[in-house]
């Protein structure tokens, strides 16, 4: 997904921000991180945060605000305005990249801005075919007759078939990129159908909204109700239609009787529903303490702790439920009012949640340690420009240096050695394996609990830049780098391995003996977790093998027919499970069997050497100071 923002608050010029499964927005205070999340809330819900007249950028004379979203993963078939299936592509509702791009415009000249919805797409521009999406069934048949199009064999009840046969009557549709209004006539019904296909968006703000009369939003039970209602949307629509039909029938019978007494009055009246039913308003649920104090009246730390476990519960539910609705979770500053251990637990929960199907997670953060738990490819750095506009950096050569300078990279002054790996899954593998080795022999440091050790990942696509620029060099702390061998005769990061080992500050680099860290996991441990047999060599792609096996055990669709994006998500999910659940149950004997040359142990012993060296230097300095004092 991608968000488009123009002329909204601090975003003077149009910006487009791509989102991964897990995305973190980073930047200085008041630079516009929360603005992005609130723009999405307005786009999807316009409820928790509503568009206001003052939301137009003060540095522009134009008061038209644009908020849009681009969706890449789309269903092959949809029903838009009749019961007949069609497709976004067949209706020319996709942009030139084959994506569904919806833009909403708000006129902030008005006291209460109204939304106007457009599809930005590659669409026919020729007269006679450029407005078909707006035409109702009777108008489509009329248009076909006017153009002399033969409707023999066409189901004239089907709007998609009528539109298709009309378009086929033109030799050149003159396709052009532009905005297609979805606000009037039949197009409004089309937008109503499209909107039901969009993801749910749940925004959890850092604290209470700024207005005293706004409801408290930290109670996740409110969101749980909305998600449950959306899961039975079809059933509720059927109930609504049944009630509507029965009530209208009663109204018409009443009017028929009224005509017998006063025909003129009866002709003035028409049954009309004033509003759609508010299903969420029917249910009230809250968590209360033994003293009957609701959570929205508790301290911010308590509320956020409950929120943390809401996300953890959602991970388990979404992993166990097939066909769960598509959801985007947006959470501001998850570290707020939480102990560092809880911060890490929340990031783990959000990471696992982002790896489930049909789910994305967006966060904002100021904390270096928290940002360090995320893959650098998933970071978006927002900065103010001299002209007061905003720039969002992503995948640029120096963006990670800017992030490092902005947030810092040293999470604790007690840190004596850095462990640098490629990705977040490597971090989890080493945390679990070092814990197991420490219990076997205390000589091995336990990475996660030792404050003298900081482990973070450089991101596969930016590792070369981190090494060549030596961003950490100015801190004077030795680094232990561990890279995957990957495939091929020469390791992927051979040059970086050699460069680190040439440094004169005690830093050292290693390359895995197998393809990657998952190749050190024993097949018995994998079988214990997954309940199927597996065998592999040092060069096999274990996560892909596991993901493929899991997919084929639960789906009739061949693995090769999945989109590359779907395959990547399933592989990422497998990597997460392998490096968490499987690594956590590995035994020392199993590791020795898979790692006969004791590679993993050598990495941790290198860390131990630096820790002992630092301790001896500190002790020597303390002894010298004591002697100087005595003298």
133-150 confidence digits (pLDDT tens): 999 999 999 999 999 999
Boundary of a domain, candidates 282, 313, 347: 282
Do 36 and 65 sit in the same domain of this protein? yes
Average pLDDT, the chain: 84
- Residue with the bigger pLDDT between 364 and 467: it is 364
The pLDDT of residue 216 is 39
DSSP state at residue 265: H
Do 90 and 187 sit in the same domain of this protein? yes
Do 23 and 159 sit in the same domain of this protein? yes
Do 186 and 103 sit in the same domain of this protein? yes
Residues 6 or more apart in contact with residue 496 via CB below 8 angstroms: 463, 464, 467, 468, 481, 483, 509
Residue 332 included in any domain:
no
Do 137 and 266 sit in the same domain of this protein? no
Residue 385 included in any domain:
no
Q: Closest by alpha carbon to 327, among 291, 352, 351, 360?
A: 360
322-356 confidence digits (pLDDT tens): 555 688 888 888 776 566 666 677 777 788 778 77
In the chain, the number of structural domains is 4
Boundary of a domain, candidates 198, 218, 250: 198
Do 480 and 549 sit in the same domain of this protein? no
Do 75 and 172 sit in the same domain of this protein? yes
Residue 389 included in any domain:
no
Confidence of residue 461 (pLDDT cuts 50, 70, 90): low
Do 72 and 39 sit in the same domain of this protein? yes
Do 459 and 435 sit in the same domain of this protein? yes
Residue 336 included in any domain:
no
- In Å, how far from its chain's centre is CA 457? 20
Do 525 and 491 sit in the same domain of this protein? no
Task: Tell me, letter by letter, the H, E, C secondary structure of 534-550.
Answer: CCCCCCCCHHHHHHHHH
User: What's the N-to-C CA distance of the chain in angstroms?
Assistant: 69
Do 27 and 112 sit in the same domain of this protein? yes
Q: What percentage of the chain carries pLDDT values higher than 90? A: 47
Residue 348 included in any domain:
no
- In Å, how far from its chain's centre is CA 123? 29
Residue 219 included in any domain:
no
163-172 confidence digits (pLDDT tens): 999 999 999 9
**Number of Cβ within a 10 Å radius of residue 347:** 26
Residue 439 included in any domain:
yes
d(CA 549, CA 566): 14
Strand partners, 4: 16, 68
Residue 361 included in any domain:
no
Whether pLDDT at 291 is above 80: no
Q: What is the CATH number of the domain that holds 447?
A: 3.40.50
Range of the domain at 532: 519-594
Do 507 and 531 sit in the same domain of this protein? no
Q: Closest by alpha carbon to 422, among 382, 453, 393, 463?
A: 463
At 43, is the secondary structure helix, strand, or coil?
Answer: helix
**Number of Cβ within a 10 Å radius of residue 334:** 26
466-523 confidence digits (pLDDT tens): 777 776 776 778 999 999 999 888 999 999 999 999 998 889 999 999 999 999 999 9
Whether pLDDT at 126 is above 80: yes
534-579 confidence digits (pLDDT tens): 999 989 999 999 999 999 988 889 999 988 888 988 998 899 899 9
**Number of Cβ within a 10 Å radius of residue 445:** 21
């Amino acid at each position: 997904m991608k968000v488009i923002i123009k002329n909204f608050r601090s975003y003077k010029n149009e910006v487009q921000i791509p989102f991964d499964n897990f995305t973190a927005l980073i930047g200085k205070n008041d630079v516009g991180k929360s603005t992005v999340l609130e723009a999405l809330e307005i786009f999807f819900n316009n409820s928790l945060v509503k568009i206001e007249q003052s939301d137009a950028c003060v540095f522009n004379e134009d008061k038209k605000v644009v908020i849009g979203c681009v969706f890449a993963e789309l269903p092959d078939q949809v029903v838009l305005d009749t019961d007949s299936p069609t497709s976004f592509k067949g209706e020319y509702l996709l942009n030139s990249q084959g994506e569904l791009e919806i833009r909403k415009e708000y006129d902030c000249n008005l006291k209460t801005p109204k939304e106007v919805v457009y599809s930005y797409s590659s669409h026919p521009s020729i007269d006679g075919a450029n407005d078909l999406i707006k035409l109702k069934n009777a108008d489509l048949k009329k248009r076909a007759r006017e153009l002399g199009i033969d409707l023999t064999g066409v189901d004239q009840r089907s709007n998609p078939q009528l539109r298709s046969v009309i378009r086929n009557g033109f030799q050149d549709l003159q396709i052009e990129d532009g905005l297609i209004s979805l606000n009037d006539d039949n197009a409004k019904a089309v937008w109503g159908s499209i909107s039901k296909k969009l993801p749910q968006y749940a925004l959890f703000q850092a604290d209470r909204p700024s207005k005293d009369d706004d409801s408290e939003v930290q109670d996740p039970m409110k969101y749980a109700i909305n998600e449950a209602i959306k899961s039975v949307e079809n059933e509720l629509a059927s109930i609504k239609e049944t009630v509507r039909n029965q009530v209208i029938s009663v109204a018409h019978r009443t009017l028929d009787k009224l005509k017998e007494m006063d025909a003129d009055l009866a002709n003035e009246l028409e049954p009309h529903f004033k509003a759609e039913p508010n299903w969420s308003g029917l249910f009230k649920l809250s968590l209360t303490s033994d003293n009957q104090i609701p959570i929205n009246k508790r301290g911010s730390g308590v509320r956020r702790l409950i929120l943390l476990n809401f996300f953890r519960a959602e991970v388990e539910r979404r992993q166990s439920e097939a066909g769960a609705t598509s959801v985007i979770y947006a959470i501001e500053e998850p570290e707020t009012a939480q102990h560092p251990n809880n911060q890490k637990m929340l990031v783990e929960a959000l990471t696992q949640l982002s790896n489930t199907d049909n789910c994305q997670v967006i966060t904002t953060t100021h904390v270096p340690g928290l940002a360090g738990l995320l893959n650098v490819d998933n970071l978006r750095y927002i900065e103010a420009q001299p002209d007061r506009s905003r720039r969002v950096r992503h995948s640029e050569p120096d963006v990670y240096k800017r992030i490092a300078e902005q947030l810092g990279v040293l999470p604790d002054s007690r840190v004596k050695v850095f462990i640098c790996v490629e990705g977040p899954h490597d971090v989890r593998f080493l945390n679990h394996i070092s814990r197991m080795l420490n219990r076997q022999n205390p000589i091995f440091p336990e990475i996660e609990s030792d404050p003298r050790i900081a482990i973070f990942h450089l991101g596969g696509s930016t590792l070369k830049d981190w090494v060549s620029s030596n961003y950490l060099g100015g801190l004077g702390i030795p680094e232990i780098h561990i890279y995957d061998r990957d495939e091929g005769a020469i390791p992927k990061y051979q040059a970086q391995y050699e460069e680190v080992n040439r440094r004169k500050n005690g830093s050292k680099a290693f390359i895995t003996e197998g393809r990657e860290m998952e190749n050190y996991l024993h097949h018995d441990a994998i079988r214990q977790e997954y309940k199927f047999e597996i065998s592999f060599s040092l060069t096999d792609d274990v996560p892909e093998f596991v993901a493929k096996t899991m997919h084929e055990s639960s789906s009739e669709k061949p693995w090769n027919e999945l989109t590359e994006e779907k395959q990547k998500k399933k592989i990422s999910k497998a990597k997460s499970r392998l490096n968490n659940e499987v690594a956590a149950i590995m035994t020392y004997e199993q590791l020795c069997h898979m790692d006969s040359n004791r590679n993993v142990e050598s990495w941790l012993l290198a860390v131990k050497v630096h820790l002992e060296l630092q301790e001896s230097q500190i002790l020597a300095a303390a002894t010298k100071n004591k002697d100087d004092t005595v003298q």
